[in-house]
Amino acid sequence: MAGGSAVDGGGATTAEARGQALYAATGVDCIQCHNRPETLRRDAVDATMLANRIAAAIAMNTGRMGDPQYGYAALTRAQLMDLAAYLVSLAPVAPVPDAGPSGDGGTGSTVVQCTSTGSSSFRTEVVATGLTSPWGMAFLPDQRILVTQKPGTMVLLSADAGTRTTLSWSVPAPDIISAGQGGLLDVALDPAFATNPLVYFTYSEPGPNGSSGAAVGRARLQGTSLVDFQRVFQQTPKLSFSEIHFGSRLAFRSDGTLFASFGDRSYDDASRATMGFAQNVANTVGKIIRIFPDGGIPPNNPFRNQAGAAPEVWSLGHRNPQGLTFDGPTSTLWSTEHGPQGGDELNVILPRANYAWPLRSYGCPYGTNPPSNTCRYGGGAHLPVNGLTFTEPVTFWAPTSIAPSNVLVYRGAGFPNWNGHLFVGGLGGRLWRIELTPAGAFASCEALVLNERIRDVRQGPDGWIWVLTDSGSIRRLVL
């Protein structure tokens, strides 16, 4: 297999034909394990996604796919793409898995789905435009605005956004790989920034053999430069053939410890769920972690003393958590998380809690049309399975995804009636306002239409709500 000449498709000119030759050369009958041709997709919507699934199975030796005698481990990325194209051609319809043990399609859940009600009045003001793929922002004590741009730069805007400066990296600089959903991502300031001007940020970095992973770095803001860079944490393991699901957000807790969220890198497949990634506490894939600002491990972390566990893990079972914030008045850590097709979640993050991915989800396989309660992974409701217990979301969105970005707990004076409400940015063009009961349970939600892909949401020093958009603008909501 490794030589390629015997399995290069014999002169075939289409990806499907080359893939068919590869499939025949291995002598492996995938249908023997998958039972039906239509399940070969493993919920992938295209050849690229299926190639990622196959690569993950090889890496984890799922179904012995990594065994040398089968030759799959020796396939190049191009060959994997051809093979995936052939398998997708055999399975034109994505599978709809059966409901889980509840058998009720998730209707046994007590979680209330977010369905928009209300029609609040507000205006939006454009503060800045012309940013390049902005991802995260933070307000300095002097009200200047620091913005990350996914290609790998940070921009510092004046308080009125009238001037902007692209900051330079001193040597050493972070090794940022900007591809797919990766690049320079979130940003957070040291809690004592006025006297200790450290800037923390998440980014994707390359690893060996074409792999990549998320990391947390910090650097000191000195004039118009970022100096004294340190990588304080790196996600493990680094994974190949995936440029998506990095997470990632940062949030400082009032005790000075730092939380960071990391996605499953699309290596978890809910249609054939394994315990290898988001459910495996030995790694930091699909996890939220807690560290000291210098990368050290707090002694009271929940898995610190568990043999074989990564000591920085705080919670597990996450798919792609791109929102994270700590609310000081209630000492609550909030997160938002992308589901598959539907099933986006708002969660309270608790130590050692398991949020069920990929074993349970209120979302459905991609391509399900029309989606319904009966197609939800594992039945939807986060019921126990195989001795594992799970934490339900505070609320969720279905059947259509909102593609949640960051989350804010509003504590400003600009909108006094919204004090304590949560705001969830949506890449689907809406900012979601969520009201809680006095006990902290979901009460209601409202979609505020902005018609922009909202990448970040923050409370400004002026008391208004600020959003960062994929179109390169900063806007604020005002009355």
The Cβ of residue 252 has, within 10 Å, a number of other Cβ atoms equal to: 18
Long-range contact set of residues 262-265: C-beta below 8 Å, sequence gap at least 24: 262/214, 262/235, 262/286, 262/287, 262/288, 262/289, 262/318, 262/321, 263/214, 263/318, 263/319, 263/320, 263/321, 263/322, 263/338, 264/318, 264/319, 264/320, 264/357, 264/358, 265/213, 265/239
For 242-257, the pLDDT digits (tens) are 999 999 999 999 999 9
Q: Give, as one character, the DSSP assignment of residue 89.
A: H
Of 38-42, 109-113, 120-124, highest mean pLDDT: 120-124
Q: Does position 49 have pLDDT exceeding 70, yes or no?
A: no
For 178-202, the pLDDT digits (tens) are 999 999 999 999 999 999 999 999 9
Q: Is the pTM value of this prediction over 0.85?
A: no
Q: Give, as one character, the DSSP assignment of residue 310.
A: -
Q: Return the pLDDT at 8.
A: 47
Q: Does position 94 have pLDDT exceeding 50, yes or no?
A: no
Q: Enter the tokens of residue 419.
A: 């004090």
Q: At what angle do helices 47-60 and 77-90 cross, to 10 degrees?
A: 110
Give catalytic residue positions.
245
Mean of pLDDT values over 25-38 = 56
d(CA 27, CA 8): 15
CATH number given to 112-478: 2.120.10.30
d(CA 170, CA 81): 39
Check: CB of residue 395 under 8 Å from CB of residue 117. Answer: no
15 φ/ψ sector (left φ>0, alpha ψ -120 to 50, else beta): alpha
Q: At what angle do helices 77-90 and 15-26 cross, to 10 degrees?
A: 100
The Cβ of residue 220 has, within 10 Å, a number of other Cβ atoms equal to: 16
List the single range of 18-32, 396-410, 415-429 with lowest mean pLDDT: 18-32
Domains of the chain, residue spans: 5-90, 112-478
Question: In sequence order, which residues have a C-beta less than 8 Å from that of residue 418 and are 6 or more positions away?
Answer: 410, 433
For 460-474, the pLDDT digits (tens) are 999 999 999 999 999
